Chain A
Amino acid sequence: MPADEPGRFIAIASGKGGVGKTWLAITLSHALIRAGRRVLLLDADLGLANVDVQLGLMPVVDLGSVLSGRTDVAGAITRHEAIGLDVLAGRSGSGALSELPAETLELLLTRLRVELASYDAVVLDLGAGIDRIVRRFALWSDRLLVVATDEPTSLTDAYAVLKLQTQDQPDGDVQIVVNQAPSAAAGQQTYATLRRACLAFLHREPPLAGVIRQDPKVRDAIRRQTSLLLRHPNCAAALDVEALARTCLTPRDAQD
Chain B
Amino acid sequence: MHLKLFRAAGMAEAIAQVRVALGPDALILNSRNVPGGIEITAALEPETEPLQTDPARLAALTWHGVPRELHPALAHGNLEAAIAGALAFGELLLAAHAPPVMLTGPPGAGKTLTAVRLATRLVMSGTAPLVITTDGKRAGATEQLAAFTRLLGVPLLVASHPVSLARALLQRTEGAPVLIDTAGADPREAAQAEELRGLAATSGADIALVLPSGLDPVEAAELAVAHAECGATSLIVTRLDLANRLGSVIAAAAASRLPLVEAGIGAGAADGLVPFTPSLLAAMLSRSQGKHHAG
Contact = CB atoms under 8 A, between A and B. Distances in A.
Interface of A: 101-103, 105-107, 109-111, 136, 140, 152, 155-156, 159-160, 163, 167-168, 189, 192-194, 196-197, 200-201
Given A101-B287, A106-B277, A110-B277, A193 B1 contact: no
Contacts of B5: 152
Interface of B: 1-5, 27, 29-30, 32, 41, 43, 45, 78, 81, 265, 271, 274-275, 277, 279-280, 282-284, 286-287
A110 B27 contact: no
Given A101-B287, A189-B30, A192-B30, 14 more contacts: A103-B280, A103-B284, A106-B279, A107-B265, A110-B274, A110-B275, A110-B280, A111-B271, A152-B4, A152-B5, A167-B78, A168-B78, A189-B32, A193-B30
B283 A197 contact: no
Contact of A159 (B1, B275, B283, B287): B1
A197 B280 contact: no
A197 B45 CA distance: 9
A103 B283 contact: yes
A-B CB proximity, top 5 nearest? A102-B283, A201-B45, A193-B30, A103-B283, A193-B29
Contacts of B29: 193-194, 196-197
B287 A156 contact: no
Overall SS of chain A's interface:
helix
B63 to A, nearest CB: 17
Nearest to B44: A201
14 contacts: A101-B283, A102-B286, A103-B280, A103-B284, A107-B265, A109-B279, A110-B280, A140-B279, A156-B3, A159-B3, A189-B30, A196-B29, A197-B3, A201-B1
A197 B43 contact: yes
Contacts of B81: 168
A196 B30 contact: yes
Given A102-B287, A197-B43, A107 B274 contact: yes
A71 to B, nearest CB: 13
Contacts of B41: 152, 155, 193
B264 to A, nearest CB: 13
Contacts of A155: 3, 41
A103 B43 CA distance: 38
Contacts of A140: 279
Contact of B283 (A106, A160, A163): A106
Contacts of B1: 156, 159-160, 163, 197, 201
Nearest to B279: A106
A128 to B, nearest CB: 18
B261 to A, nearest CB: 13
Contacts of B265: 107
Contacts of B280: 103, 106-107, 110
Nearest to B266: A107
Contact of B287 (A103, A107, A160): A103
Contacts of B284: 103
Given A156-B1, A159-B1, A197-B1, A105 B30 contact: no
A167 B3 CA distance: 20
A201 B27 CA distance: 10
A159 B128 CA distance: 50
A191 to B, nearest CB: 10
Contacts of B3: 152, 155-156, 159, 197
A105 B279 CA distance: 10
Contact of B27 (A101, A106, A163, A200): A200
Nearest to B265: A107
Contacts of A106: 277, 279-280, 283
A163 B46 CA distance: 13
A249 B284 CA distance: 36
A189 B286 CA distance: 43
A192 B29 CA distance: 8
Nearest to B276: A110
A216 to B, nearest CB: 24
A160 B280 CA distance: 25
B31 to A, nearest CB: 10
Given A102-B286, A106-B280, A152-B5, A196 B27 contact: yes
